[in-house]
Amino acid sequence: MPAPPGFTEEYDKVNYTIDAWTQACEAPWYIYVETLKPALLAAFITLITFGWDDVLRGWARPPDRHARRRSGKGRKKGRRRLRGIPEFGDMTGRHLPGSEAVKGINWSATAKALWRIDTVAQLAAFGLLIAEITIDFGFEWSTLLYDTRWCKDSARGRFSWQKGGRELVTPGVWNEIAYTSKDYQFPFPNWIVTFGNTGIKGATISFSIDWEPLIPAAPPTSYSSRLVDKITGQVFSETGPTLADSNGRATHIISADVPQNRVFGVQGFAAGNWAYAQDGVVIGMEDIRLD
């Protein structure tokens, strides 16, 4: 999950908000509501806040008699002129003492034209204000929501792959173990059948293998499993040799922290006779890295 931008240009806020909502967040519904409330309150306060220039315009602005004539008897019954969201500064100014007297002034044609230009400019500015409030609301809500531990964990890269059936393991040598059925994958880290990559932050990798003899009457004497760097051969974690049980079986579960930018793989070893590797899973979770 990216950190909020260090500067507050609207373009960066929009990009951050879009980027945030493309990340998974498995937070409960009430966390969405709790993080929504302060962002919604801030947007509402910004919307109803006005300056003295807004009040002065409302106090002195002449009535729009042309609009009043258009909305009179010529209207069909049941139709109403849409007024949009009220401007509270303008509304306040219209109700101040002396406003009616000022509105009764017979303005010149030039002054009336300037007032009409100002009205159009104020409508445009109000539209920009709504757009800015919407951007700020999305940015604030996204920042609050994705700062929760639910979203931080959900935004971490991860994967899960299962074995697609039995895999024959040659005795006496280390065999590459394949996991061929993908449950989910949000890189990085990632996995592709027989190998994975941790990405730039490193990851915790875990896997399991169920061992079974090819010939039940002549099982391997022991089993071993390990997680290795496929390029350097470094062993991150290993278990075994584990003696086979009375049915010739064994189960291994291994987990290890693998550093960043490593190509890793799972290997298995059967001593003494052929075996099957089956019913396993390999999973990975991106490490939390504090920059």
Q: Which amino acid is at 229?
A: D
**Is 0.75 topped by the overall pTM?**
no
Residue 28 counted as domain residue: yes
Specify whether 110 is located in the same domain as 167.
no
d(CA 17, CA 190): 26
Q: Count of H helices and E strands in the chain?
A: 8, 12
Contact between 188 and 199 under an 8 Å Cβ cutoff? The reply is: yes
Provide the β-strand partners of residue 238.
226
Give the list of residues 6+ apart from residue 190 with CB closer than 8 angstroms, or none. 157, 159, 196, 197, 199, 284
Specify whether 138 is located in the same domain as 240.
no
Residue 262 counted as domain residue: yes
Specify whether 40 is located in the same domain as 118.
yes
The token duo for 276 is 């099957």
User: Could you tell me how many residues make up the chain?
Assistant: 291
DSSP state of 2: P
The token duo for 58 is 């409302």
For 141, counting Cβ atoms within 10 Å of its Cβ (0-12 exposed, 13-18 middle, 19+ buried), the class is buried
**pLDDT tens sequence for the chain (291 residues):** 444 444 456 667 787 777 767 666 767 888 888 888 888 888 888 777 766 666 777 666 766 654 444 444 444 444 444 454 556 666 676 666 766 666 666 767 787 777 778 778 877 877 888 888 888 888 888 888 877 776 766 667 889 999 978 999 999 999 999 999 999 888 889 999 999 999 999 999 999 999 999 999 999 999 999 999 999 999 999 998 999 999 999 999 999 999 999 999 999 999 999 999 998 999 999 987 655
Specify whether 161 is located in the same domain as 115.
no
Specify whether 263 is located in the same domain as 148.
no
Long-range contacts formed by 162-168: CB under 8 A, 24+ apart? 162/280, 162/281, 163/277, 163/278, 163/279, 163/280, 163/281, 165/278, 166/212, 166/276, 166/277, 166/278, 167/276, 167/277, 167/278, 168/214, 168/274, 168/275, 168/276
Q: Which of 128, 152, 176 is at the close of a domain?
A: 152
Specify whether 120 is located in the same domain as 242.
no
Residue 291 counted as domain residue: no
Q: What share of the chain is helix, strand, coil (3-state, %, to 5)?
A: 35, 30, 35
Q: 3-state DSSP call for residue 291? A: coil
Q: Which of 152, 181, 196 is at the close of a domain?
A: 152
Angle at 10 between CA 8 and CA 16, to 5 degrees: 80
Specify whether 21 is located in the same domain as 148.
yes
What's phi and psi for 214, nearest 5 deg? -70, -40
Residue 182 counted as domain residue: yes
Specify whether 144 is located in the same domain as 243.
no
Q: Which of 156, 255, 253 is nearest to 199 (CA)?
A: 156
Write out the residue range of the structural domain in which residue 191 sits: 157-286
Residue 68 counted as domain residue: yes
Specify whether 161 is located in the same domain as 143.
no
Specify whether 20 is located in the same domain as 46.
yes
Provide the β-strand partners of residue 282.
161, 207
Contact between 208 and 281 under an 8 Å Cβ cutoff? The reply is: yes
Residue 199 counted as domain residue: yes
Within 13 A of 219's CA, how many CA atoms are on the CB side?
A: 18
Specify whether 177 is located in the same domain as 75.
no
pLDDT score for 73: 47
pLDDT score for 212: 95
Contact between 268 and 169 under an 8 Å Cβ cutoff? The reply is: yes
Specify whether 204 is located in the same domain as 94.
no
Residue 4 counted as domain residue: no
Residue 3 counted as domain residue: no
Q: Which of 152, 180, 205 is at the close of a domain?
A: 152
pLDDT score for 121: 81
Domain total for the chain? 2
In the numeric block, the tokens 């500015």 are attached to 125
pLDDT score for 115: 73
